[in-house]
């Protein structure tokens, strides 16, 4: 799975649902995706917030990209403070976000992985992590073939992917290798966001600002279906 910047609740459901989570550092960075940006609530509407990156070739892997030298965490922290300061869980989540955004490593993969680990720790998710480049496979493989090779290398007979992967992966190809392919579909979630109309599927920051860890563990993390 690609690393994302404060991803939505479904990403953490996926991590929690498996025994071993493989995160990609040697996959191409994609523009206008979710790798270095996400959405938060602002004045009752979803707005983008992002990590600025140094200029780099479109062919570079995530692990070869870096944050811009003029990146200032204060800018994002000020936006979070202005947006969520009245949220019920603001203090603890703001401190968590501050610790992540002030992480000193400018490497994009290292920065994102650190943030994901910190959020998992906050939510009590203890799944084992594996970085893709450290798995002994042919890393020139692409797409489905690379995933199957990773599954074989780590010795699993079950691979779980987000629901969007239904258009990318074929159950028959995995079955030929003795691997069951399942897709995780997150259940719709809803919670109070101040007094505004609910906006779904925002960053995990939004979920954590309005819900205690216990509520997230009991209501949201188990809220998915494996297809």
| 139-162 tens-digit pLDDT | 988 889 999 999 999 999 999 999
- β-strand partners of 186: 224
pLDDT beyond 90 at 105: yes
- β-strand partners of 61: 28
**CA distance linking residue 11 with residue 201, whole number of Å:** 11
Tokens found for residue 116: 């994901």
Tokens found for residue 61: 């892997």
114 vs 70, 103, 145, 153, CA distance in Å?
A: 20, 8, 28, 24
Tokens found for residue 160: 């779980």
**pLDDT class for 57, splitting at 50, 70, 90?**
confident
**pLDDT class for 173, splitting at 50, 70, 90?**
very high
Backbone angles phi, psi at 181, to 5 degrees: -105, 125
| 21-53 tens-digit pLDDT | 999 999 888 888 899 999 999 988 999 999 999
Size (the chain), residues: 227
């Amino acid at each position: 799975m690609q690393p994302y910047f404060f991803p939505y609740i479904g990403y953490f459901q996926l991590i929690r649902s498996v025994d071993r989570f493989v995160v990609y550092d040697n996959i191409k960075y994609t523009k206008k995706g979710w790798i270095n940006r996400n959405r938060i609530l602002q004045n009752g509407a979803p707005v983008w917030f992002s990590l600025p990156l140094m200029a780099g070739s479109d062919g570079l892997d995530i692990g070869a990209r870096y944050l811009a030298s003029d990146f200032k965490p204060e800018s994002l922290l000020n936006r979070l403070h202005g947006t969520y300061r009245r949220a019920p869980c603001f203090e603890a989540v703001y401190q968590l976000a501050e610790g992540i955004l002030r992480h000193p490593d400018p490497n994009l993969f290292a920065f994102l992985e650190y943030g994901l680990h910190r959020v998992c720790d906050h939510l009590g998710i203890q799944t084992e992590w594996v970085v893709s480049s450290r798995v002994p496979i042919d890393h020139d493989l692409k797409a489905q073939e690379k995933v199957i090779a990773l599954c074989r290398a780590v010795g699993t007979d079950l691979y779980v992917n987000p629901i969007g992967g239904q258009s990318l992966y074929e159950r028959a190809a995995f079955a030929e290798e003795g691997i069951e392919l399942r897709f995780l579909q997150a259940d719709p979630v809803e919670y109070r966001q101040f007094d505004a109309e609910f906006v779904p599927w925002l960053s995990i920051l939004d979920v954590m600002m309005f819900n205690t860890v216990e509520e997230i563990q009991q209501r949201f993390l188990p809220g998915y279906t494996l297809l």
